[in-house]
Amino acid sequence: MKKLMIMAALPVLAMAAPQVAMAEESKTANVSYAGLDLTTEAGQNELKTRIARAVNAVCSDTRTGNSASEARLRSECKKAALQKSEQHYASAVSEARYGG
């Protein structure tokens, strides 16, 4: 398979009368690396760029504003998604270098 899956749990406010409860919503994105030569630095850098774009897309929530707490949540989401993608990235590069 020539795709990585980027996942992140996004905090979402769920209104429950009369309380506000926190729930988690998972969003994912597939990142294709078909056509990239992951044995080269250029190919690896392109895959990292694609992963970063996917993480930004997954962790951007148009319903949120620009408050400090919302910015912190987006930052935490991005950090978690990047951490989750590291193993997939390493596996893809290893498979390209050494075969799978």
Integer Cα distance of 81 and 62 in angstroms: 18
| pLDDT at site 53 | 94
Percent of the chain with pLDDT over 90: 50
| pLDDT at site 25 | 63
| pLDDT at site 21 | 38
Interval 3-47: pLDDT, tens: 777 666 544 333 233 333 344 567 888 999 999 999 999 999 999
Over range 46-69, report the average pLDDT: 84
